[in-house]
Amino acid sequence: MKFFIDTANLDQIREAQELGVLDGVTTNPSLMAKEGIRGRDNILKHYVDICEIVDGDVSAEVIATTFDEIVKEGEELAELHPQIVVKVPMIKEGIKAIKYFSDKGIRTNCTLVFSAGQALLAAKAGATYVSPFLGRLDDISTDGLQLIAEIRQIYDNYGFETQILAASIRHTMHVVNCAKIGADVMTGPLSSIDGLLKHPLTDSGLAKFLEDAKSFN
């Protein structure tokens, strides 16, 4: 299972990278805005800065919503750095663009996916990644994990190579449950990765070992 961090914050990306388990980064316009990144040149530079911190894939989202504009913007993003994956919304023009990018060898992440049917369409178009937003489904009393399981079943039925990128992860148990289902990738906040470290028996066990080790001196 690949671990991506879902942020545009360079300090958090560095911290996750230093842990040694980071496989990539996902961003979106909201996350870029949160970091106060403004203006096209600054946004493009920020994507390059992220690529220089991590070794893996970095999703950069298009703002355009028509085929021609998505292609233009996506090609510009893809040329920025070999690690860039063009993130395209799940709309009709987006699916056409994903097919176009796929035929040209440009990697894509189909975002804003909330149903198995949408995920099937993204795979048919040749998306590299599909991003079902499980946390946002949970937010409206729908089972986000069930969607991940349905997509896993459909992709396995037909051998689709599109990777399931479980997005909108909110906490550590989302990560664990996505791993049990077999999501290829999870993207979440740094806290969802850090949470995997924690167990009170680890803390109390280590405290006892360190206390008993004092007798060695």
Determine, following the binding rule CB under 6 A, whether residue 133 of this chain makes contact with ligand G3P. Answer: yes
Q: How many residues bind ligand G3P (CB under 6 A)?
A: 9
**Minimum gap (Å) between residue 111 Cβ and ligand G3P:** 6
Determine, following the binding rule CB under 6 A, whether residue 167 of this chain makes contact with ligand G3P. Answer: yes
Burial of 211 (0-12, 13-18, 19+ CB in 10 A): exposed
Q: Per the residue annotation, which of 72, 87, 92, 180 is the catalytic one? A: 87
**What's the CA gap between 178 and 189, in Å, rounded?**
15
Is there a catalytic annotation at residue 87?
Answer: yes
Q: Find the binding residues for ligand G3P in span 136-165 (CB under 6 A).
A: 136
In this complex, which beta carbon is closest to ligand G3P, that of residue 179 or of residue 207? 179
HSE, side-chain direction, 13 A CA sphere, residue 213: 6
Q: Find the binding residues for ligand G3P in span 169-188 (CB under 6 A).
A: 187
Continuous segment of H or E residues that includes residue 25: strand 24-26
In this complex, which beta carbon is closest to ligand G3P, that of residue 97 or of residue 168? 168
Contact between residue 122 and residue 95 where contact means Cβ atoms under 8 Å apart: yes
Contact between residue 187 and residue 167 where contact means Cβ atoms under 8 Å apart: yes
Q: Would you tell me the crossing angle of helices 67-80 and 92-104 to the nearest 10 degrees?
A: 40
**Minimum gap (Å) between residue 188 Cβ and ligand G3P:** 7
Q: Which of 108, 118, 168, 177 binds ligand G3P (CB under 6 A)?
A: 168
Q: What single-letter amino acid sits at 47? A: Y
Residues that bind ligand G3P (CB under 6 A): 6, 26, 28, 133, 135-136, 167-168, 187
